[in-house]
Amino acid sequence: MAWFIPLIVLLTLALIAYLREKRQRRTRPVSGGKQSGVHLPYEKDIELYANPFSHCSRKVTLAMEEYGLDYAYHNVHLIETGWYETISRAFLAVNPSGLLPVLVHKGAPVYESDDILLYLETLTDKQSIIPHDAAGRKAMKEWIEFCSVSSHDPMAAMDTQAGACVPALTLPIFATMISDIDIRHILTGFLFHPDKVRPMFFLSAKLLGLGGILKTGPAGGLIGRGRDAMLGHMETINTALKQGGGPWILGDQFSLADISLASIYLRLDETGWLEWFMGQSDLHAIAVHYAQLKARPSWQKAIEEKQLDIVKSGRQRLLNLVQNSPAIRRKLYGS
Ligand SMILES: N[C@@H](CCC(=O)N[C@@H](CS)C(=O)NCC(=O)O)C(=O)O
């Protein structure tokens, strides 16, 4: 009987430690824009907390490079690229919502990538990449919103926003990247991440592989919806590029709208979707637009130099699976 008591004490202590840790890692929504009342420690006037694989981080990094800003880059892991660093205590002190990216300007955080994009103009004397006229500004904001991912319900607006299709279309590469991640890191998500569906998806992908999750569960349906909606969005972008006369989405003015689209193209490219969409429809204007974006010096610094090995190997694995498995091809492309 006496052996029983230390066991109960031990379990109670473990439970108390877990609940305390859980409380400290609780996330809460934040509003976008600069938080002037918050003062974080900083080494450089401008710091960016981001992840090179995150769509929202890429937009901001590209814009910062376009402006030629001098900044410190803090690489924060997502579970897909390493571990749940976004819900570590250290990162939650920077952003209590546990989301990337965050710009920190002289210690004041700026939240939400689209707000950060607009805020960057205040940090530079360089020529703005925001149109000066009201109509151009409005059009640019509409494109930015079109490429946005909501913090509340990322996939809700698939029919109207290209950004909302991104999470669904990223699921296949998530599934191939996750095989490089230690299962213990995934389990952390069940303990501390507010969204339990995602660790469930990652665990299934780790155990069953891409073929397995496409056969059972909701992934196949979500991907199909994202694919069909995104094809329509690509046609919309292509038509706008043609009608505007290029070379940019707003005509001859390069802007944050192009940067937001660049990040969408990249995600579709690295996941094999871009090639597939090109085979479904005439997207020549997009092909030219994308090539021009990749040729800019900002692309080299924000994208090429920050590439992660885990993304490269996940991409290769995905391409191999697509090539070698008719069942996976059928599920992904419906043919
Ligand atoms: N609306 C937000 C969305 C931010 C967002 O969803 N960030 C993702 C990476 S792209 C993230 O940090 N995810 C971490 C998680 O959900 O645990 C923005 O544009 O900044």
5 falls within a domain: no
- Condensed to tens digits (0 to 9), the pLDDT of residues 175-214 reads 999 999 999 999 999 999 999 999 999 999 999 999 999 9
CB count in 10 Å sphere of residue 278: 15
Q: Return the residue whose CA atom lies nearest to atom 11 of ligand 1.
A: 99
Query: Over 70: is that where the pLDDT of 157 sits?
Result: yes
| Tally of domains within the chain | 2
- Residue 325 Cα to ligand 1 midpoint, Å, equals 32
Best CA proximity match to 21, nearest among 207, 232, 192: 192
- Condensed to tens digits (0 to 9), the pLDDT of residues 254-305 reads 999 999 999 999 999 999 999 999 999 999 999 999 999 999 999 999 999 9
- Residue 149 Cα to ligand 1 midpoint, Å, equals 7
Residue 76: both structure tokens together: 């924060």
Whichever domain contains 88, its CATH number is 3.40.30.10
Q: Name the DSSP class of 49.
A: E
Residues 62 and 180 in one domain: no
Query: Over 70: is that where the pLDDT of 309 sits?
Result: yes
Q: Does 113 contact ligand 1 (Cβ within 6 A)?
A: yes
- Residue 284 Cα to ligand 1 midpoint, Å, equals 31
- pLDDT at position 259 is 98
- Residue 164 Cα to ligand 1 midpoint, Å, equals 12
CB half-sphere exposure, 222, CA atoms < 13 A: 20
Residues 61 and 138 in one domain: no
CB count in 10 Å sphere of residue 48: 23
Residues 82 and 221 in one domain: no
| Mean pLDDT, residues 103-127 taken together | 96
Core vs surface per residue 177-205: b (16+ CB within 10 A) or e: bbebbeeebbebbeebbeeeebbebbbbb
Residues in the chain, how many?
335
Residues 100 and 208 in one domain: no
pLDDT, averaged across the chain: 95
CB count in 10 Å sphere of residue 1: 4
Q: Return the residue whose CA atom lies nearest to atom 13 of ligand 1.
A: 99
Residues 61 and 19 in one domain: yes
- Residue 304 Cα to ligand 1 midpoint, Å, equals 21
Residues 166 and 59 in one domain: no
CB half-sphere exposure, 164, CA atoms < 13 A: 18
Q: Does 56 contact ligand 1 (Cβ within 6 A)?
A: yes
Range of the domain at 158: 134-333
Residues 77 and 150 in one domain: no
Q: Return the residue whose CA atom lies nearest to atom 10 of ligand 1.
A: 54
Residues 35 and 82 in one domain: yes
- pLDDT at position 92 is 97
150 CA: nearest ligand 1 atom: 1
End position of a domain, from candidates 63, 89, 123: 123
d(CA 330, CA 49): 38
Location of structure tokens 């250290």? 90
d(CA 306, CA 298): 12
Pocket test for ligand 1, best of 103, 149, 152, 267 (most atoms within 8 A of CB): 149
128 falls within a domain: no
- Residue 88 Cα to ligand 1 midpoint, Å, equals 15
151 CA: nearest ligand 1 atom: 1
Predicted TM-score (pTM) of the model is 0.95
Best CA proximity match to 290, nearest among 301, 275, 280: 275
Residues 150 and 216 in one domain: yes
Q: Name the DSSP class of 167.
A: H
